[in-house]
Amino acid sequence: MTVSPNIALFIDGANLYATTKTLGFDVDYKRLLKEFQTRGNLLRAFYYTAIIEDQEYSSIRPLVDWLDYNGYTVVTKATKEFIDANGRRKVKGSMDVELAVDALELAEHIDQMVLFSGDGDFRPVVEAVQRRGVRVTVVSTISSQPPMVADELRRQADVFIDLVELRPKVARELPERMAARESRTQAPL
């Protein structure tokens, strides 16, 4: 009898969003959960994102609310606003430390960590989790120019999955009307 591995997903929301936009598709997060539930015992699916709190409407809020009600553990924090040396307004909202702490805390309970990010800053946490006996899969892409995954992160991972390979399983399906309109615009003249 084969025992299913305990799996946890760690999604760097901003990084995954940038990667899928570069590749030209949107993620269907319900399909993403189902895909990894077929690969083992999915203990947690974390989604990390920073939120600009002083805005009346945040475009990320509907997604965050949906994820929170549909099987994801959403980790957010408010962005910080500052003025750079050139006097330009900048917004900062890195979730790297939160993701790293959660990964290290959960390491003793999982067999596989799936990291959706290409950020090379995660290489040390991947290495630390591996030292605890956890296999690490990194999901990003090398299909774009330049690649969206840092070489050192890809090399550190036990397994690298190019998001292009997952696209048929996790891409959001176009609604029928949009698909029909798109097929008309792509038809030869």
Asked whether residue 188 carries a pLDDT value surpassing 80, the answer given is no
Q: Is the dihedral of CA 128, 112, 60, 27 positive or negative?
A: positive
Euclidean distance between CA atoms 170 and 178, whole angstroms:
18
Give the residue, 8 or 79, on which the prediction is more confident: 8
Predicted local distance difference test score (pLDDT) of residue 51: 87
The β-bridge partners of 113 are: 8, 136
Predicted local distance difference test score (pLDDT) of residue 57: 67
Predicted local distance difference test score (pLDDT) of residue 182: 52
Reported as a single tens digit per residue, the pLDDT across 151-174 is 999 999 999 999 999 999 999 986
Reported as a single tens digit per residue, the pLDDT across 26-55 is 999 999 999 999 999 999 999 999 887 766
Give the residue, 7 or 3, on which the prediction is more confident: 7
Predicted local distance difference test score (pLDDT) of residue 189: 47
Asked whether residue 108 carries a pLDDT value surpassing 60, the answer given is yes
Which CATH number describes the domain made up of 6-185? 3.40.50.1010
Q: Are strands 112-116 and 6-12 parallel, antiparallel or unpaired?
A: parallel
Domain ranges of the chain: 6-185
Report the predicted TM-score, pTM, of the whole model to 2 decimal places: 0.86
Q: Are strands 80-83 and 89-92 parallel, antiparallel or unpaired?
A: antiparallel
Reported as a single tens digit per residue, the pLDDT across 109-163 is 999 999 999 999 999 999 999 999 999 999 999 999 999 999 999 999 999 999 9
Element (H, E) at 19: helix 13-23
Cα angle 60, 43, 49 (rounded to 5 degrees) comes to 20
How much of the chain exceeds pLDDT 90, in percent? 72
pLDDT classification of 20: cutoffs 50, 70, 90: very high
